[in-house]
Chains A and B, each alone.
Chain A
Amino acid sequence: DQQVKQNSPSLSVQEGRISILNCDYTNSMFDYFLWYKKYPAEGPTFLISISSIKDKNEDGRFTVFLNKSAKHLSLHIVPSQPGDSAVYFCAATFSGGGADGLTFGKGTHLIIQP
């Protein structure tokens, strides 16, 4: 039972353009969402997060949008740079306690083409 779904295993985007990575979730208890970036042979590193009380959070080139009614979130990267090529994981949890681990999607491999 996949509670966090990333339906695109890979995405190819030209350098300088916008990259949009999507994520859907099924558990309505989730109220805090995170994006992690992972390079080969390294652990995931935190990128950006959003609480369910917001619908948008921005940090530099990265913006996360949350649509609670659709149980959908997306990560926008603009402009895309070669160093953004990595696997991006969407993760979710709930703030009310009792869930210490994060629930991850399977990841989307972003490839930035020069």
Chain B
Amino acid sequence: NAGVMQNPRHLVRRRGQEARLRCSPMKGHSHVYWYRQLPEEGLKFMVYLQKENIIDESGMPKERFSAEFPKEGPSILRIQQVVRGDSAAYFCASSPGRGIYNEQFFGPGTRLTVL
């Protein structure tokens, strides 16, 4: 059973470009979470999605960031018009259900560098 997969593992963008980060959850998991880790910081929750629905986006920046989890295919975190402050590691996690007793399994992360 493959774990959570994220790609690309490393992404370099120039200021103003778009970044697309992909996350394939573990088999059988329909719940996906995105977290961001800035340098020297802990992981910060961004958004929680179930298939085709955004459930909780309380940690998502109001502008330039969006997320989706379509019926088919991976979850996508999209950052438009990237700025240097977007440079961070972005982690995706998946779980089989909602709530504290459903463990979140993390992917290896995508390291975004904005030049």
**Which of chain A's residues have a CB closer than 8 A to the CB of B46?**
101
Q: Which residue of B lies closest to A6 (CB)?
A: B42
CA–CA, A54 to B49, complex, Å? Answer: 30
CA–CA, A7 to B91, complex, Å? Answer: 23
CA–CA, A106 to B45, complex, Å? Answer: 13
Q: Contact residues of B with A, CB < 8 Å?
A: 4, 33, 35, 40-46, 48, 55-56, 58-59, 91, 93, 98-100, 103-109
B62 to chain A, nearest CB (A): 17
Binary contact readout A1-16 vs B (1 if CB under 8 angstroms, 0 otherwise): 0001010000000000
CA–CA, A103 to B100, complex, Å? Answer: 12
Decide: A44 and B56 in contact? CB cutoff 8 A.
no
Selected contact of A42 from candidates B93, B104, B108, CB within 8 Å = B108
**Which of chain A's residues have a CB closer than 8 A to the CB of B105?**
46
Decide: B45 and A44 in contact? CB cutoff 8 A.
no
Decide: B108 and A41 in contact? CB cutoff 8 A.
yes
Binary contact readout A41-57 vs B (1 if CB under 8 angstroms, 0 otherwise): 11111100000000000
18 A-B pairs (CB sep. < 8 Å): A4-B42, A6-B42, A32-B100, A36-B106, A41-B109, A43-B93, A43-B106, A43-B107, A46-B103, A46-B104, A93-B100, A100-B33, A100-B55, A101-B56, A102-B45, A104-B42, A106-B40, A106-B41
Q: Which residue of A lies closest to B45 (CB)?
A: A101
**Which of chain B's residues have a CB closer than 8 A to the CB of A103?**
45
**Which of chain A's residues have a CB closer than 8 A to the CB of B109?**
41-43
The 3 A-B pairs at the shortest CB distance, nearest first, are namely A101-B45, A43-B106, A104-B42
CA–CA, A69 to B27, complex, Å? Answer: 40
Decide: B100 and A95 in contact? CB cutoff 8 A.
yes
